A and B are shown apart, each in its own frame.
Chain A
């Protein structure tokens, strides 16, 4: 296979949108290649058959496959290159991608620019150190979702769910509709990690109890799961002795967090953010390696796919601009003004800010958004954007919670205040 102008690793919502926008910006369809490891394009949306996607992008409620379908149709209509069942095995700092596929065999190709759109994976039982036996019947919520919605099988009949992330909440409803009994959802934290609308529509509407500040402390059963021990946890999040309950069940679903899948990025030497687990990027979504961009859940875990799409448009446009610029400089034109990066930071309840750095010589404008998540539940607080400690923008929020991704845009005051060596801070008042 021949080299490409842009290789996009991952054919889910992020990769699809990045490809389309790169094409919008003038990169020919044949010069773009999306490498997708699953059997078809669409990523995790293919198994998200519930509605609720697309309210921001399209102003209507779509199912996951419908949302993905709109982008897949465009990719196909325009003839943008893609290859399914294609697994990328390595990425080098000089944009060489090694991948394997049953039809193409083992390939090494180069691209002028690379977009990382590999998505995320679910945290596992192993990562939680839950003690006990190792029977069948313990699934991550997403795996169970695949069994039910793609393969057409029910993983179990009496279900306990640990973690109130959105996939766990969606699966509580899904399994109930399919005839399983969801006994309870346990959440380690004193608040849910999922969207409020999912708590209402997936648990409350089906009388499924949510136990906050509870966790699973032991697994029982030799072959198939027979029961779990559930206990209340204290402020230190450790189980309180004496509060244990033995709950007979045949299935435990885990919805305990998502981790950006950055093994390729790490091996390529891309600098990662300790908190998001994704690459550190600037406002163009460029990582620490020039010409390598990142977007979607591989960059930071999103709550809504609509925001993934918007972020991927930016990454796709930036990759296209990088390619054009690289071509221009090859032809003897002057390169762009050198980047002058300044850091962003989150303070006072703001866990992280993405992008992690801004290019003072770049195109900072009122559309430049700083995305962030808070570390706890807050009511009636203001989000303050400041440059070197000087407040430049303030947005009042009735309600802030960790499950929801927030953003604040740069404004004229902030852009005017930015100097060499500045720090841009997002904080709660």
Chain B
């Protein structure tokens, strides 16, 4: 049965990845009504959830592209964005390592491109300086491109934070809303998932790996791009290995992307990956034995002593690689433009790496384009730039710890022993804006279950807390929504 939401929004954004989230956050500053539709059960579930977690400096993108401009601008905006959103961010810098004269030549190309793109403080360094900065780097690495403005951030935390910020400023989020039909009725977009329809004057396509499909649904008959889903597999190592590298370490890039990197994460782990393999199913995030072996080989090429036995988990993400009419992947730009065929439609499509680094700038640019399309923007007096306070028990000092426990004893109860996450943090994650309803949502919001025991100890406790706080039986609690129930056999 068709149920209809009578409310008409000014803007409907399809996709709550980092691009949609940052667009929602930037729009939330203005007196416009905004709704974000997300197919998955949580925000940040596509390419945003599983990538290298790097804020690239901006020397990779071809000069003159939208990608180059947004990357450099986004990277410059990131420290302030992260601060406003209370998201850990570290400007640790990146090193592209060269192993031969030919690769040194390539560094020079990247350097020149970076300078033209406006990347600050780039420098090519020799082997001695490289080894001083990274003592564990391969002895065969002879030079590197040093980009001090590159950084690391947790991509899904940034996305969740941006959504929380948008939410407290009035943006409406609908998850589990997979768009299957888009029509124009009397000049208004009617966006449906088959059972529910949302109406809006402007439509923003931020559907990531599905952005070409959404474009076609929206009536874009001659969309100039199609997506090749490219899967990247990763390994995440124990915090005990976090000091193996102190900068983002890249090999020289190839046609398939930036190659396998080794990087610290903001949470103190070490991340290795990704592979780059074109696949058919856009939502297939399985890992493969050959992929994981390739990750280990690639990481050892950069850091021969990397202890891959300290692996905590493996995962993969699917990147939306856009392919233009000429079929050339390497030259492709982000597919960001105002539709000529469908009025009121804005595409933020084909955004692969450096989509994360670019995201604050992409959001800002999207708002400017919507204004150009006729959306009237007046600043909202009540706008709040942050998000509700978030306590990270692990990062508090003694006095702060004592103080939060005195206020709420649940902060004195450690549920996840590997990551030192308290019951207070889990309860908060459940009751925050866009609150957690399953184990993985708790994990992405608190890190409970992210550690070396693979959630063996904390998951029964977290299931119990979820059931209690949500007022449902434990048998209804899922790992990641849908049919992913934890206790499949029911009560005994």
Residues of chain A at the chain B interface (Cβ within 8 Å): 37, 85, 87, 89, 98, 100-106, 108, 121-122, 124-127, 129, 131-137, 139-140, 142-143, 146-148, 150-157, 178-180, 217-219, 222-224, 250-251, 266
Give 21 A-B contacts (CB < 8 Å), ordered by A residue.
A37-B414, A37-B417, A87-B414, A101-B412, A102-B410, A105-B401, A106-B405, A125-B454, A126-B312, A131-B288, A131-B292, A136-B484, A143-B457, A152-B491, A153-B492, A155-B486, A156-B489, A218-B286, A222-B283, A223-B479, A266-B240
Q: Is B211 at the interface (CB under 8 A from chain A)?
A: no
Say whether B492 contacts A148, CB under 8 Å: yes
* Contacting residues of chain B (232-270) with chain A, CB-CB under 8 angstroms: 235, 240
Q: Mark B98-120, 1 if CB is under 8 A from A, else 0.
A: 00000000000000000000000
Q: Is the interface of A mostly helix, strand, loop or mixed?
A: mixed
Q: How many residues of B contact A (CB 8 A)?
A: 54
- Select from chain A the residue with minimum beta-carbon distance to B487: A153
CA distance A142 to B487 in the complex (A): 15
Chain A residues lying within 8 Å of B482, measured Cβ to Cβ, are 222-223
CA distance A185 to B421 in the complex (A): 34
* Contacting residues of chain B (262-306) with chain A, CB-CB under 8 angstroms: 283, 285-289, 291-292
Say whether A102 contacts B405, CB under 8 Å: yes
Say whether B405 contacts A133, CB under 8 Å: no
Say whether A155 contacts B409, CB under 8 Å: no
Say whether A154 contacts B492, CB under 8 Å: yes
**Minimum distance in angstroms from A161 CB to a CB of chain B:** 15
Instruction: Choose from A105, A127, A154, A219 the contact partner of B487 (Cβ within 8 Å).
Output: A154
The 8 closest A-B pairs by CB, nearest first: A154-B489, A124-B454, A136-B479, A87-B414, A223-B484, A102-B412, A102-B409, A136-B484
- Select from chain B the residue with minimum beta-carbon distance to A47: B460
Say yes or no: A153-B287 contact (C-beta < 8 A), given A89-B420, A105-B412. no
Q: Is the interface of B mostly helix, strand, loop or mixed?
A: mixed
Chain A residues lying within 8 Å of B291, measured Cβ to Cβ, are 131
Instruction: Choose from B287, B406, B410, B456 the contact partner of A143 (Cβ within 8 Å).
Output: B456
- Select from chain B the residue with minimum beta-carbon distance to A225: B488
* Contacting residues of chain B (456-492) with chain A, CB-CB under 8 angstroms: 456-457, 459-460, 464, 474-475, 478-492
Say whether B489 contacts A132, CB under 8 Å: no
CA distance A132 to B233 in the complex (A): 11
Say whether A155 contacts B489, CB under 8 Å: yes
Residues of chain B at the chain A interface (Cβ within 8 Å): 235, 240, 283, 285-289, 291-292, 309, 311-315, 398, 401-402, 405-406, 409-410, 412-414, 417, 420, 422, 452-454, 456-457, 459-460, 464, 474-475, 478-492
**Minimum distance in angstroms from B255 CB to a CB of chain A:** 26
Instruction: Choose from B287, B292, B402 the contact partner of A105 (Cβ within 8 Å).
Output: B402
CA distance A126 to B287 in the complex (A): 12
Say whether A136 contacts B409, CB under 8 Å: no
Chain A residues lying within 8 Å of B402, measured Cβ to Cβ, are 105-106
**Minimum distance in angstroms from B161 CB to a CB of chain A:** 24
- Select from chain B the residue with minimum beta-carbon distance to A129: B292
Say whether A155 contacts B492, CB under 8 Å: no
Chain B residues lying within 8 Å of A124, measured Cβ to Cβ, are 312, 452-454, 456
**Minimum distance in angstroms from A374 CB to a CB of chain B:** 23
Say whether B492 contacts A140, CB under 8 Å: no
Say yes or no: A146-B460 contact (C-beta < 8 A), given A37-B417, A131-B289, A154-B492. yes
Chain B residues lying within 8 Å of A100, measured Cβ to Cβ, are 401, 405, 412, 414, 422
- Select from chain A the residue with minimum beta-carbon distance to B239: A263
Say whether A224 contacts B456, CB under 8 Å: no
Say whether B454 contacts A224, CB under 8 Å: no
CA distance A126 to B460 in the complex (A): 18
